[in-house]
Structure 1
Amino acid sequence: MSRLFASRPGDDGLPGPERRLAVLALILGTLMAVVDTTMINIALPSIAAGLEVPASRAVWVTNLFQISCAAFLLVFAALSELVSRRRIYVAGVGIFTLASVGCALSTSLETLLLFRALQGLGAAATLSIGPSLYRSIFPSRLLGSALGLSAMVVAGGYAAGPAIGGVLLSVADWPWLFALHLPLGAVAVVLAWKALPREAGRRGGFDLAGALLSVAMLCGFFLAMDGVGHGMPTSQVAAWLALSVAAALLFLRRQRRARHPLMPLSIFNEPRFSLALVAQGTAFVGQGLAFVALSFLFQSEMGFTPLETAWLFTPWPLAIMLVGPRAGRLADRVNPSLLSSAGLALMLAGLVLLARLPAEAGVVEVLWRMLLCGVGFGLFQPPNNRELMSTVPRERSANASGIMSTSRTVGQSFGVALVGAFLATGMPVQATLWLGALATLLALGASLARVPLAGAAQRSAKQAAAGE
């Protein structure tokens, strides 16, 4: 860890000692957003009982946060170029914190949903530009290590969320889950304002039409996916999908003509970036499918309790926490596409083994398969993120970060929706796991396709360094 904060002559990014506070600000902001997602999920029954509303309505406490966050990732990434990433990040953490206080004080579902939507906006502002801030804070030689640290923080947040929520609910009522963010958010705002890199915003306008189309495109998509998972009538799902597709076509047309496009299409001219994006999106489809399908498999088919199921999931994020930072460090020296491909191969093997798991299998047989998937995903994600962030010009880092966050969120949500759709047709749970394996296989294909490109780029960089 100490090598992340050691300086060398010629390093870009912040000086070594200044990186610590900047990274702490990013860690706090990311943890609040990530922990909130899994922590609030387990509190939905308590929220429904406390506000005296049906469970079907209480689900929107989670859904609205996710939709609001996902719909504005691209918008805040582009806006950060205009007003600076530091200001957007500070504003995002501030909005999230104040909205958390509003959630804690809410006495009706309608008020709670309003503040949850605001929380989603704050989370979108921080998550959309987090990876690009790592690139500004750390020198290029440590980018993989830095993104490995980011992967560890996200995985740790997902793993810790249910435990934190469970402990708090055992001694206090649900509003305290939201109140927890107040002291953390206050510290994160001060640290971010003080320590994040200062930069001048670019001159020029903002693509408002593109932003509105982007929000319509992503909102339509997520509402359709949520409808698939919760039994919405087919006509309504089709209507939301039609809105999403129409907005997407208009959005792409707008991006070709806009003077300051929300998502510059030229960024996709770099094949390594495009292939890494495809690998990420399809890998998250596979993970989203697996997480939901395994919940049904463990409880409905194998007879485990909800608490036992939660423990069975633990090896996956725990392995990401342990492997991710090491994979990131290795990606600074070894072809990152090779590492990502190896990770996807391990994850694919783990999903195939889980799909073939007999109903009478014991805990140990489940745990080592989950561990294999987690090791694979931990080996895949940081090197792949390094490819995504390092293959675009530095001035496009914010755009790349927003696209990366959107791809991850869309892939995960699509995977979850596919499980709901296929289970509704009577398909066995194991069959949906095979779909997750298929999505991972597609990700592996995209990752392997860029191995020679990444190798050539790495050799060129070494030759250039030797020439200097």
Structure 2
Amino acid sequence: MTASQHAALDGLPTPRRYWAIASIGLGITLAVLDGAIANVALPSIAQDLQASSAASIWIVNAYQIAIVVALLPLASLGEIVGYRRVSQAGLAVFTLASIACVFANSIEALSLARVIQGFGAAGIMSVNGALVRFTYPQSLLGRAVGINAVIVSLAAAAGPTIASAILSVGHWRWLFALNVPIGLLAVSLAGFTLPHNPLHKRKLNWTGAALNAAAFGLVITGLQSLAHGEAAVLGFGLTGAGLAAGVLLIRHERSRASPLIPLDLLARPMFSLSVATSIISFTAQMMAFVALPFFLQGSLRLTPVETGLLMTPWPLATMIAAPLAGYLSDRYSAGVLGAIGLSVFACGLMALSFLNADSTHFDIVWRMAVCGAGFGFFQSPNNRAMLSEAPKERAGAAGGTLGMARVVGQSLGAVVVAFLLSTTPINGVAHGFQIAAVTALFGAVMSGSRVRRRPAEPEKEVEAV
């Protein structure tokens, strides 16, 4: 590859680069905004559709399971047909499924619509990291990841506030209707701004995709069944079948040049440690985010409006910390930055567990801010480490794994909270914050273990050609 060819692949020229990152950000905003809105609205939805609190968790879990099942196959498809095409298709499916959510009249119908919505979100999320990688030059990758994290944080910050405002004057169905105009704008904008990528001349690995769906889908569904107190035989049976499918998947993928499960990338210690740390951190984050609405409204007797507003400092603090950490990650070790961030995150989570009926709004706000700042300071450096560790031709697999780590962790966190809601009174959810704090602290130790490992720099190899 010549220097000029490499330059053409090393990011988009300005101002198109800014339009592309706006398009990428708008797409990921849909997925994040919808998740944040749904979490806040869970108690209201459960009451309106006459469902239990534990059953209402399926509104979140159905979305997450669909993403887990489809994310890696769609990331692989992006390497074959183009990341921009997968992103556009995901946006269109997400928008149509949002309309179905608006008209759902039962918890089952809403959960099914959320499954379809999850497939659309998987299309968006599976190629998000790869699109960022092809939009910005390697020298600015940390800054680009930080900008992407800011966009995610803005969406997360807007979610509780928007949910609170809408719930104060209207029905929860308007929360999903909000996605429709944003989705239409995102689809139209993506068509002429997103970067192209070199295409791989191979067919989609349908056998691997089926085994991937069986492995992740059955394991998560089985764990959910156990958490909801359903028949143990069913829960353990589904989980066991999923693990068996996982073994077959690894055996099927081991000899492939571009495996659906990125075994080639996971063989790199820095990449695998970053993936494991990401799963752990998002497990802790989702435990707190799902538990908070039930804790604040159930134990502290706050209204849905108050809940949404008091949760907002978390993503706002992330919005401030993420770009700073992204800027620093171009210069300092992701292991050190991640360990600092997760340690602060663990302190904030433990502080949440000490809230009680006498706590003031300020007591809640500063704890939320500490959690958000710690998590944001971890996320950008860790994401940069994952994306930069992979060769550029495997950017789709790296980005897909980044998204998979997030949703697997979030699914596991939701499982723990569902178990707590099924087995303990609503006050028992406070123990979830303590479990989440210990989980985040373990992630900090794992992040710190990366300090002695020197990350690969595949882009320098390309430049030397």
TM-score w.r.t. the length of structure 1 is: 0.87
**Cα drift, residue 390 of structure 1:** 0.5
1:264 aligns with 2:262: yes
**Cα drift, residue 295 of structure 1:** 4.6
Instruction: Give the match's secondary structure for 1:451.
Output: coil
| 1:270-317: CA deviation from partner (whole Å, max 9, x where unpaired) | 111111111111111222223344455545555545543433322211
Pairwise mapping of residues 28-39 of structure 1 onto structure 2 (< 5 A)? 28-39=26-37
**Cα drift, residue 165 of structure 1:** 3.3
* 1:182 aligned residue: 180
* 2:286 aligned residue: 288
* 2:318 and 2:372 in contact (8 A); partners too: yes
1:20 aligns with 2:18: yes
> How far apart are the structure 2 equivalents of 1:299 and 1:61?
18
1:144 aligns with 2:142: yes
1:370 aligns with 2:368: yes
> Which runs of 5 or more residues in structure 1 are unaligned?
1-8
* 2:206 aligned residue: 208
Instruction: Give the match's secondary structure for 2:364.
Output: helix
Instruction: Give the match's secondary structure for 2:248.
Output: helix
* 2:246 aligned residue: 248
Instruction: Give the match's secondary structure for 2:200.
Output: coil
1:347 to 345, 348, 351: 345
Pairwise mapping of residues 191-230 of structure 1 onto structure 2 (< 5 A)? 191-230=189-228
> How far apart are the structure 2 equivalents of 1:184 and 1:119?
14
Return closer, same or farther for 1:355/1:64 CA change in 2, 3 Å cut-off.
Answer: closer
* 1:432 aligned residue: 432
**Cα drift, residue 38 of structure 1:** 2.8
Return closer, same or farther for 1:368/1:135 CA change in 2, 3 Å cut-off.
Answer: same
Pairwise mapping of residues 52-451 of structure 1 onto structure 2 (< 5 A)? 54=51, 60-104=58-102, 114-170=112-168, 173-258=171-256, 260-295=258-293, 297-356=295-354, 360-422=358-420, 424=422, 426=424, 428-451=428-451
**Which residue type is aligned with residue 369 of structure 2?**
L
Instruction: Give the match's secondary structure for 1:452.
Output: coil
* 1:3 aligned residue: none
> How far apart are the structure 1 equivalents of 2:299 and 2:388?
44
> How far apart are the structure 2 equivalents of 1:267 and 1:205?
20
**Which residue type is aligned with residue 193 of structure 1?**
G
Using the TM superposition, name which of 131-140 and 278-287 deviates more: 278-287
* 2:325 and 2:381 in contact (8 A); partners too: yes
> How far apart are the structure 1 equivalents of 2:429 and 2:356?
12
> How far apart are the structure 1 equivalents of 2:145 and 2:451?
20
Return closer, same or farther for 1:393/1:229 CA change in 2, 3 Å cut-off.
Answer: same
* 1:207 and 1:258 in contact (8 A); partners too: no
Using the TM superposition, name which of 362-371 and 109-118 deviates more: 109-118
Using the TM superposition, name which of 306-315 and 39-48 deviates more: 39-48
Give the superposed CA RMSD.
3.2
Using the TM superposition, name which of 301-310 and 23-32 deviates more: 301-310
> How far apart are the structure 2 equivalents of 1:27 and 1:266?
29
> How far apart are the structure 2 equivalents of 1:250 and 1:224?
18
**Cα drift, residue 362 of structure 1:** 3.2
Return closer, same or farther for 1:297/1:99 CA change in 2, 3 Å cut-off.
Answer: closer
**Cα drift, residue 185 of structure 1:** 1.9
* 2:228 and 2:422 in contact (8 A); partners too: no
> How far apart are the structure 2 equivalents of 1:216 and 1:197?
32
* 1:344 and 1:443 in contact (8 A); partners too: yes
**Cα drift, residue 435 of structure 1:** 1.8
**Cα drift, residue 30 of structure 1:** 0.9
> Which runs of 5 or more residues in structure 2 are unaligned?
1-6
**Cα drift, residue 235 of structure 1:** 2.5
* 1:344 and 1:376 in contact (8 A); partners too: yes
> How far apart are the structure 1 equivalents of 2:44 and 2:63?
18
| 1:51-98: CA deviation from partner (whole Å, max 9, x where unpaired) | x76567766544433321221111101111111111111111122223
